Amino acid sequence: MQNRTWQEIEPKVNANGIKGTKIYEAPEGEIVHLYLAPGSHLKKHITPVNVAFYVLEGTATLEIGEEKQSFPKDTLIESPKNIPHGVINEGNSVLRLLVIKMPKP
């Protein structure tokens, strides 16, 4: 049995200050813990695999294709492969979510 917490792994920080921590990585897929401060955003981009976002804390505003919608804690949002998607923290508190990619890109 293996276990870990997102705090135990060194995160990667992008130009917008978003912290991404790969908490699971295998040939079958990967799970990334994202931490967005208020006002942060992950620019729209395309992935060659389906992506699921699970909101752990805060409210996530997602842009998937031409749609934009906000989602509360404990919501799962699906984003199909090859469709531009991005994440915005429009709130006043921290946004934490899991990004699940299957299969691994």
Residues 40-90 have pLDDT tens digits of 999 999 999 999 999 999 999 999 999 999 999 999 999 999 999 999 999
The answer to whether the CB of 38 falls within 8 A of the CB of 89 is yes
Q: Is the dihedral of CA 8, 14, 20, 24 positive or negative?
A: negative
Instruction: For domain 11-102, give the CATH superfamily.
Output: Jelly Rolls (2.60.120.10)
Map out the domains of the chain as residue ranges: 11-102
Residues 7-33 have pLDDT tens digits of 898 888 887 778 999 999 998 999 999
Q: Supply the pLDDT for residue 14.
A: 80
